[in-house]
Chain A
Amino acid sequence: MPASFEQDITLAGDLHARPAGALAVAAGRFASAVSVTAGSNTADAKSVLGVMSLGATTGQHVTVTAAGPDAQEAVAALIAILSEATKVGG
């Protein structure tokens, strides 16, 4: 069974187009299935349009979940991007 990991982060800024793009580009490089959940909405992290449609805003709790051979690395990478990218907005 492939491992599954998840981690939460509180957004320092809104999840606008550029951070959503950075997130989806990074997620697309992993073999694992990766999703982002904000409130009651979940999106495929590899879909930039899906991530944007979450409408995740400053202060919101977001959960990154990954399942697959590189799930742990994927979660760590995406949490790092969310941590950095939402500081600058855009």
Chain B
Amino acid sequence: MSTATVGIVLVSHSAELAEGAANLAAQVSGGTVTIIAAGGTDDGDLGTSAAKVERGLSLADSGAGVVVLPDLGSAVLTVRAVLEDHSNSNNVLLADAPFVEGAVAATVTAAAGGDVKAVAAAAEEARHARKL
């Protein structure tokens, strides 16, 4: 497709968890969507980093907007603090979704050309998807 796709930022307390979820989502969706892993603190410890989230938002946005998925509730505080200062935060949606399933569903919908609302909705619908 010629139009830009929605970018995804995965905010986790663990750098490895964010990277792993990003890799999985990229594999499942065919690798056409920009997925940025923003995990761990600036020192590489468990926790979240406003600087990493801010950088992720910039890297993920190719013009179609960004959907952010936090792994645990306290990551939301970091994301919200960043969004208050972010220059283009009206094109960013924070999705309330299970981390792995939400990342995969959001990325697949982005790859299919969905807009930010559709991508965030796909992530949030993942809450209802049964595995068994």
Interface residues of A (CB under 8 A from B): 17-18, 20-22, 24-29, 46-50, 53, 90
Contacts and interface: CB of A to CB of B under 8 A. Distances in A.
Instruction: Choose among B28, B114, B125, B126 the residue with the greatest number of A CB atoms under 10 Å from its CB.
Output: B28
Contacts of B113: 28-29
B111 interface: yes
B59 interface: no
Interface residues of B, number: 21
A20 B88 CA distance: 33
Contacts, number: 54
The B interface, classified by DSSP as helix, strand, loop or mixed, is helix
Given A29-B112, A48-B28, A21 B129 contact: no
Contacts of B28: 17-18, 20-21, 48
Interface in B15-33: 24, 27-30
Interface stretch (B36-44, B61-69, B102-110): B102-110
Contacts of A28: 108-109, 111-114
A28 B125 CA distance: 15
The A interface, classified by DSSP as helix, strand, loop or mixed, is helix
Nearest to A29: B112
A53 B28 CA distance: 14
Interface string B72-115: 00000000000000000000000000000100110011011110
A46 B29 CA distance: 12
B105 A48 contact: yes
B30 A50 contact: no
